[in-house]
Structure formats: C-alpha cells, structure tokens
C-alpha cells in the first residue's frame, strides 16, 4: 500500500514537469475539471502555481467537499470562500438578482443582491455595482449579535440561524453595507421551502417572520459542486467564485483564474476597506469597460428589486 502511494506520487510529479511546459503556452481553462470524459484517460488540473497539468484520470480521486461530520456552524474544512466581481463587465442585466431571488424564495421587497447605480462624484463615470453580503472576516454584524444567531464559519461564510434570531436588528444597524433584510411580515413562500429540515445553510428555506435574512454565499450549491446562483446566472461573467486557499476562482462560463494574479493585474479592491471589516468579496474596477452604462439604465429600477411571484 505504502509502496503504491510513493510510486504514484513520483509519477504525478514527473507528469507535472512535462505538462507544465505545455500548459504555459496556451491559456487552457479548467472547465469543470472533474467531469471525466469516458474516452479520455487524462484530466486537466491546475497546480498551485497556476499551471495547467494533465493527469491520468485514474490518479485523481474525487474528494467529496462535504465531510461526513459536516456542521452548518463549522462549514467546510480547509476552505476559504471568496468572490470576485468584475465591474467592467456589469451591464445591469439583473440576471444575478433574479436567480438569487428565485433560488432563495425571496418574497420581501428588498433583494439580498442589489445592483447599485454608483457614481462617486459628478466628475467621475457612473457604473453598476452588484452588492451582496461581503462575508467579512471581521464581521461587525456577528460582533454585535446578542445570541450568536449570526455567526462566522471557518470557511469564511457568515450565516444566520433563523431559529435562534430574536429580531433585535442590531446586526442590520451594524452592517455598513446595508445588505441585511428583515422579515417584517409572514413571508408568503411556496410550500417547497418547508420540505426539508431547517439548516442555516440555505437562507430563505424558509424565511422566518421577525428574523433577519441575507446572502448566504450559496453553500447549498457548493455542497453539490455547483457555483452560487448569481455566478451561474450572469450572462457576462461578472462574478467568479472560489477558494482563497486554492487561490482560484471560477466564473459562470467555467473559466478558472488565479485569484492573486487576477487581483494584482486588475487592481482589485474591497468595499470600504478603511472600516477594517475585511470582506471576502473583491471588486475589479470598472476600467476598459465592455458594456454600455446607458444601456444598463434601461433595466434600472429605483424602487424595486424583487418581482412578485403569483
């Protein structure tokens, strides 16, 4: 057994050296890296230094992201989820918001993901800024919660236990990004939200009257190996989601980027960095824009973010 292991590791290393050279020529994406095609024996992987390598499928073992003793308060082990939002690509299509509203059964009047029309000053250009929970590493909301209803997990996600929340709304007052929403009345959700046992992992399933809701970073999708709703729905690949420990983020088209290189190259930043909240959401500035702001205004709705479901 031990011998076998050593052998395979040697083989893997050799392969890495050989294929590293090939990978550096092209910019091959690791689209759905773990989708095995039956006739191909090789799979493409990205090594920690960002090179694409091909490895025999037999050498790769799929590791289930969900550990056996998965706990909603602890999260996924050895993960640190991050998101990158490329403002140069956002044309306010609002597909992200619609997918989020639908996937989380939002029936209130304030969406968890909003696309703000931003303009720092009269002299600077306006742009659209998709904004959801920033999943701060030093979350002010968690600090002020009197009952530990909102909590920070080891994988970086900030969640709310709607069965514990007392509805004091201090977290909403504390959040400088104003992303938290309150269930002011009994949410009129479809029956499906009550089908499974409650877990804080899927916010909005169900939403509870008198408690706070917000973006959950979709751990309910990650657990299935899927990207968050907003990332998948965006027609322009504005969002990329991934793991900071792997230093990789993947967008809706399946392209994977090296996080550190992306932030460096595009001068990534975080919202209100000076407050010291250390968000997990990074923004790429709206430079060299691929979209027309004025066209995006057609979709802009000052007073609405959730479509009523019949």
60 binding another protein? (CB under 8 A):
no
132 binding another protein? (CB under 8 A):
no
Strands of the sheet with 248-251, listed across from one edge:
256-258, 248-251, 239-243, 81-86, 281-284
144 binding another protein? (CB under 8 A):
yes
Q: How far is the CB of 28 from another protein (least distance, A)?
A: 39
302 binding another protein? (CB under 8 A):
yes
Stretch that binds another protein, among 31-39, 169-177, 240-248, 252-260 (CB under 8 A): 169-177
Q: Which residues contact 145 (CB under 8 A, 6 or more apart)?
A: 151, 170, 171
Q: How far is the CB of 126 from another protein (least distance, A)?
A: 11
Q: Are strands 239-243 and 248-251 parallel, antiparallel or unpaired?
A: antiparallel
Phi-psi region of 210 (alpha: psi -120 to 50; beta: other; left: phi over 0): left
d(CA 179, CA 116): 12
> Which of 19, 45, 90, 111 lies at the binding interface for another protein (CB under 8 A)?
111
Q: What is the DSSP letter of 230?
A: H
Stretch that binds another protein, among 17-25, 41-49, 160-168, 245-253 (CB under 8 A): 160-168
Stretch that binds another protein, among 14-22, 30-38, 205-213, 217-225 (CB under 8 A): 205-213
261 binding another protein? (CB under 8 A):
no
93 binding another protein? (CB under 8 A):
no
Closest to 141 (Cα-Cα) out of 275, 284, 270: 275
Q: Nearest-5° angle of CA 150, CA 118, CA 174?
A: 25
Q: Nearest-5° angle of CA 108, CA 225, CA 203?
A: 20
153 binding another protein? (CB under 8 A):
no
275 binding another protein? (CB under 8 A):
yes
Q: Return residues touching another protein (CB under 8 A).
A: 109-111, 114-118, 131, 140, 143-149, 164-170, 172-174, 176-178, 180-186, 208-212, 272, 275, 301-305
């Amino acid at each position: 057994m031990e011998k076998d292991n050593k052998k395979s590791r040697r083989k893997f290393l050799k392969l890495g050296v050989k294929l590293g050279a090939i990978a550096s020529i092209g910019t091959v994406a690791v689209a759905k890296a773990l989708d095995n095609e039956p006739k191909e024996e090789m799979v493409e992987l990205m090594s920690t230094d960002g090179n694409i390598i091909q490895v025999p499928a037999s050498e790769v073992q799929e590791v289930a992201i969900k550990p056996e003793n998965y706990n909603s308060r602890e999260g996924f082990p050895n993960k640190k989820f991050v998101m990158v939002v490329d403002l140069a690509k956002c044309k306010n299509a609002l597909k992200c918001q619609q997918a989020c509203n639908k996937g989380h059964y939002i029936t209130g009047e304030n969406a968890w993901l909003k696309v703000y029309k931003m303009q720092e000053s009269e002299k600077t250009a306006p742009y659209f800024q998709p904004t959801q929970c920033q999943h701060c590493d030093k979350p002010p909301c968690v600090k002020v919660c009197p009952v530990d209803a909102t909590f920070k997990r080891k994988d970086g996600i900030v969640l709310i236990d709607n069965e514990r929340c007392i509805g004091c709304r201090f977290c909403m007052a504390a959040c400088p990004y104003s992303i938290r929403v309150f269930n002011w009345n009994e949410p009129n959700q479809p029956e499906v939200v009550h089908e499974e046992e409650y877990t804080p992992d899927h916010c909005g399933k169900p939403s509870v009257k008198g408690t706070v809701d917000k973006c959950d970073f979709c751990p309910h999708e990650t657990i299935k190996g899927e990207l968050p709703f907003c990332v998948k729905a965006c027609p322009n690949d504005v969002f990329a989601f991934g793991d900071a420990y792997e230093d990789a983020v993947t967008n809706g088209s399946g392209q994977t980027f090296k996080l550190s290189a992306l932030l460096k190259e595009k001068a990534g930043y975080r919202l209100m960095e000076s407050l010291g909240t250390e968000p997990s959401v990074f923004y790429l500035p709206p430079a060299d824009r691929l979209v027309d702001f004025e066209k995006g205004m057609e979709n802009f709705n000052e007073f609405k973010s959730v479509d009523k479901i019949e």
